[in-house]
Amino acid sequence: MSWEIVIGLEIHVQLATKSKLFSGAKVGFGAEANTQTTLVDLGMPGALPVFNEEALRMAVTFGTAINAEVCKHSVFARKNYFYPDSPKGYQTSQMDHPIVGLGHLDIQLEDGSTKRVGVTRAHLEEDAGKSLHEDYDGMTGIDLNRSSTPLLEIVSEPDMSNAKEAVAYMRKMHAIVTTIGISDGNMAEGSMRCDANVSIRPKGQQKLGTRAELKNINSFKFIERAINVEVQRQIDILEDGGKIAQETRLYDADKNETRPMRSKEEANDYRYFPCPDLLPVEIDDAYIDAIRQSLPELPDQRSARFVDQLGLSEYDAGVLSSSRALADYFEAVVAICNDAKLSANWVTGELAKYMNQNNVEIDAAPVSAVHLGQLISRVKDDTINSKGAKTVFDELWQQAGEVDDIIDANGLKQVSDMGAIEAMIDEVIALSPKQVQQYVDAEVEKRSKMLGFFMGQVMKASKGSANPGQVNGLFKKKLDELC
Amino acid sequence: MTNKTLVQISKDLAAGEYSSREITQDIIADIKARDSIYNSFISLSEDLALTQADAADARLTAGTADILTGVPFAHKDLFCTQGQVTTAASKMLANFVPPYESTVGQRLLSAGAVCVGKTNMDEFAMGSSNESSFFGAVKNPWDLNAVPGGSSGGSAAAVAAGLVPAATGTDTGGSIRQPASFCNLTGIKPTYGRVSRFGIIAYASSLDQAGPMCQTAEDAAIMLNAMAGFDELDSTSVQQETPDFTADLNLPLQGLKIGLPKEFFGSGLNPQVAECIMNAVKQIEGLGAQIIDISLPNLELSIPAYYVIAPSEASSNLSRFDGVRYGYRCDQPEDLMDLYCRTRAEGFGTEVKRRIMVGTYALSEGYYDAYYLKAQRIRRLIKDDFTRALSQVDVIMGPVAPTPAFDLGSNSKDPVAMYLEDIYTLSANMAGIPAMSTPAGFVNGRPVGLQIMGNYFAEAKLLNIAHQYQQVTDWHLQIPTSKGMPVSNEEKGA
């Protein structure tokens, strides 16, 4: 049977506010347990929440960036449940009246076409704390530093039909939230994570299949793998005549499988109701318009500019505008070397390769945009050749120093002195009478292929530093004179 | 010091009749000697109080004293007090010492007032008789067989017994006004949002409001001056200028329009209480006011609506008492579920558990629309009733409760009968308007309070009316004898 896959994503974006959603405590990663808390985050008796308006501004910025409906009236609601890392016994979220309503996002598919994915809503909510199960001798530790950290939960329509589309959607969201500066987008630290609702149905069937919810996926790679392995699991069950259970599952990256979460499923009733400690959030058109006016250049706009003004291919432009940090880096490189095409090649080529191999993001890349720009400039002005450039790049990655110092220290400067090159060529010709004779005897059209041997000898003699273009031209001239 | 008003003590302190330390010591000694009769205090904060008193004496000497500087008072044990156990009259918090002070408490401390201790109350402010306290019932100083009212029953009994000149209370459905009525005090529930709720343990957040309980309207106005004001820590506190609530006390009542809602004088009202109320209203009419018959047609719906909304909010507000971070924790929990279940089963009393269950039910999927949403719609109707009525009249008057203080134990087995006691007080909380109780007579030796309700932010008007009424009557000056009978009940000037 042929199956159709239906995927919807709920993306949690941690907003880059200085303080928490409902308290003045600092938001931060990695601090000592329970040091970034106030009475509010600890759920002390009589403590009351105060809404952080910076989070509102960020949520509205997001709504305007994806051209969604921004709701002038939104309401915080309490989601009631007991868990030790939920200090108040409820999570403050938004239910019936979210801050952002219907919108959509266009994603680029691999075949170059564009697909529109619906955004159902985006709402503000507070994060929970963390339960720490290790190091407490059979007991559980509670760290409430993360408690009340602001999140924007972005809920999509079930519009994606394979894992690659889900990844493209997540990447596009990542590009937008980092471009508009509402999140650092750091997935390793959990600043952006998603739940994927996955179901399958026979091709052509209208009714949706039973879905499984894959919780807390925190990398692009895992989204693709988790969805694919879950889809296969569901196909196997249905083709064996089984039934899919509606449940929450976790993706285990080590085993590359999904498995049910502890079953705290038992028909959770969260008893949502409007939070009586917080007033409804009322905003007006002027507020929304002012934010819309101040939006930075968005990824799609930036990509179009890269094509129109910098002459990049659609593909390169799409890759380079996929995150604000990457696009900023690329533009900084261009600003130094003034060559968009070469810059694009280096950023999507050598730099991307090193980043992948070393598993670092652009922000943490040890080669600065300035250094890469200087390196490309040295290629352009023929100071080094491309082989030498790769050596320099590798040294820069090791943080060996400045570009010109590395070139000097490694003797990579191309020999462009015609006299020196000519002397080396004359020597090779003198030492290779047999090959010279073969060249002279060969048919004219086959001679250019035979230049390779002579080129190689000179490059070897110059330890790769001779300018290959010059060497090639001069050889041809000298050998042809002998014919 | 017995039964001296706050104003009198303030004058005495200013005149150097005694120091704050002396009166604080006397009051604490008096409480220790006599409170075993009433059980109005849960804890005394002797050391903290004396430190505060010494600081007040320094201010008095330096000439930087405020009117409240050095004046002792007591906090309902729902107000978090830094370094002083704060229990909400519950086993759940019997060991809880807050590391912070409520905003109201901080404001009173800044004014130089001296907190001598924490008063008894219904557990988590849930009750109308002060019988649901983990620390035992409170007795009414006017009649030791009677309840003092609730939930601020300890505050009421302590002031009525002359143990302290003033106390704080909270009022979610009548918890300041009804005990004030039962104990012959002046108590005011301000407009919702007038007084910060920060640091007051929440019962029903959209209804809770703190206010003072005193012997006179003037004392209440002075206390409210210190307690009220915008607080950025409470999002529901109102950014509204706080007037001097004593400024209008002496305005004449000429031309005042008083609305008498017929629903306040129906068959459920004790006839003798009705007589007291009508006498009071007539006396105020005699001061130049005009009486207008009005209707609040949705009044009787306030009981079912309140007993959905308040428990719903409470069921969520009380979720934080889970044995994880502070307060009571059951012995040797087997696992997380056992920790939750036994901690809450053992830590909460019957009435609190009843309301948590009612609220949990009302918010449940499938019932939410029929209960919570419907109750909210009724709440809007009640609010509209008041808006309409208060466009015709300046204030609304009526009884605080259908009866004088009832006997201890008489309603405690029947929660619904207890809930019906709140019929005249709930609606002000539902609408968010200010309302107060002022002494208006006695029935069989038990006090009766007149309720005065006004428009949003009209506290000064209410206090003005109560003060003017107190100028021509002496109900508020009556003090209970040791036998529990009023000393005299003759009227001044009538």
Position B320 pLDDT exceeds 80:
yes
The share of chain B scoring above pLDDT 90, in percent, equals: 94
Position B492 pLDDT exceeds 80:
no
Residue A150: its pLDDT value, please?
98
The beta strands (E) that lie in B255-392 are given as 257-261, 290-294
A-chain CB neighbours of B364 within 8 Å are 269, 271
B-chain CB neighbours of A88 within 8 Å are 319-320
The answer, yes or no, to whether the previous bond of A93 is cis (omega within 30 of 0) is: no
Contact: A279, B313; criterion CB under 8 Å: no
Residues 6+ apart with CB under 8 A from B335: none
Which of A80, A273, A281 to mutate: most B Cβ within 10 Å? Answer: A273
Which of A86, A277, A281, A282 to mutate: most B Cβ within 10 Å? Answer: A277
Residue A411: its pLDDT value, please?
80
Residues 6+ apart with CB under 8 A from A326: A319, A320, A347, A362
Contact: A48, B336; criterion CB under 8 Å: no
Tokens for A281, please give them.
């959030």
Question: Could you report the per-residue pLDDT of B231-286, keeping only the tens digit for each?
Answer: 999 999 999 899 999 999 999 999 999 999 999 999 899 999 999 999 999 999 99
> Any chain B CB within 8 A of the CB of A44?
yes
The interface pTM score, or ipTM, of the predicted complex is: 0.94
Q: From the list B205, B235, B368, which residue is nearest A51 (CB)?
A: B235
Contact: B102, A46; criterion CB under 8 Å: yes
Q: From the list B200, B232, B326, which residue is nearest A50 (CB)?
A: B232
A-chain CB neighbours of B368 within 8 Å are 271-273
How far off is chain B from A46, nearest CA to CA, in Å? 4
Architecture of domain A418-482: Orthogonal Bundle (1.10)
Q: From the list A44, A89, A273, which residue is nearest B319 (CB)?
A: A89
Contact: B236, A277; criterion CB under 8 Å: yes
Q: Which of A414 and B318 is assigned the larger pLDDT? A: B318
CB B152 within 8 A of CB B119: yes
Between CA B68 and CA A334 the distance in angstroms is 71
Contact: B365, A277; criterion CB under 8 Å: no
Position B491 pLDDT exceeds 60:
no
Q: Which residue of A has its CA nearest to B193?
A: A277
B-chain CB neighbours of A50 within 8 Å are 232-235
CB B108 within 8 A of CB B73: yes
C-alpha pair distances (Å), A190 with each of A14, A47, A127:
8, 28, 11
Contact: B319, A88; criterion CB under 8 Å: yes
Q: Which residue of A has its CA nearest to B86?
A: A45
How far off is chain B from A152, nearest CA to CA, in Å? 21
Domains of chain B and any CATH numbers:
6-253+435-477 (3.90.1300.10)
The single-letter code of the amino acid at A361 is E
Q: Within 13 Å, how many C-alpha atoms sit on residue A49's CB side?
A: 30
Contact: A48, B235; criterion CB under 8 Å: yes
How far off is chain A from B426, nearest CA to CA, in Å? 17
Number of A/B CB contacts below 8 angstroms equals 95
How far off is chain B from A268, nearest CA to CA, in Å? 10
- The single-letter DSSP state of residue B171 is -
Confidence of residue B487 (pLDDT cuts 50, 70, 90): very low
Question: Could you report the per-residue pLDDT of B136-151, keeping only the tens digit for each?
Answer: 999 999 999 999 999 9
How far off is chain B from A54, nearest CA to CA, in Å? 16
Between CA B463 and CA B186 the distance in angstroms is 9
Confidence of residue B493 (pLDDT cuts 50, 70, 90): very low
Instruction: Taking the CA atoms of B7, B9, B14 and B17 in sequence, report the sign of the dihedral they define.
Output: positive
Tokens for B410, please give them.
């008489």
Residue B485: its pLDDT value, please?
42
Question: Could you report the per-residue pLDDT of B344-380, keeping only the tens digit for each?
Answer: 999 999 999 999 999 999 999 999 999 999 999 999 9
Q: From the list A46, A84, A88, which residue is nearest B80 (CB)?
A: A46
CB B138 within 8 A of CB B154: yes
Residue A425: its pLDDT value, please?
85
At A363, give phi and psi (nearest 5°): -60, -30
Residue B46: its pLDDT value, please?
97
Of residues B210, B197, B188, B194, the one with CA closest to residue B242: B194
CB B98 within 8 A of CB A45: yes
**Helix or strand holding residue A336 (H, E):** helix A324-337
* Interfacial residues of B (vs A; Cβ cutoff 8 Å): 79-80, 86, 88, 93, 96, 98, 100, 102, 197-202, 204-206, 232-236, 312-313, 315-316, 318-322, 324-326, 336, 340, 360, 363-365, 368, 372
Mean pLDDT by 10 residues, chain A (483 residues): 94 97 90 93 97 98 97 98 95 97 92 92 96 82 94 98 96 94 91 96 94 93 96 96 92 92 68 97 98 96 95 91 90 96 95 92 92 94 87 92 89 75 84 86 82 83 77 82 80
Contact: A273, B233; criterion CB under 8 Å: no
Contact: B364, A47; criterion CB under 8 Å: no
Across residues B432-449, what is the average pLDDT?
98
* Total-model pTM: 0.88
Contact: B316, A46; criterion CB under 8 Å: no
Residue A22: its pLDDT value, please?
97
Residue A322: its pLDDT value, please?
85
Between CA B243 and CA B229 the distance in angstroms is 9
**Helix or strand holding residue B115 (H, E):** strand B114-119
Residue A475: its pLDDT value, please?
81
- The single-letter DSSP state of residue B186 is E
> Any chain B CB within 8 A of the CB of A51?
yes
Of residues B451, B442, B452, B450, the one with CA closest to residue B404: B442
Domain chopping of chain A, boundaries: 3-289, 297-409, 418-482
Contact: A80, B201; criterion CB under 8 Å: no
Position B2 pLDDT exceeds 70:
no
Contact: B368, A273; criterion CB under 8 Å: yes
Position B484 pLDDT exceeds 60:
no
Active-site residues of B, by number, are 76, 151, 175
CB B393 within 8 A of CB B294: yes
A-chain CB neighbours of B316 within 8 Å are 78, 80, 89-90, 271, 273
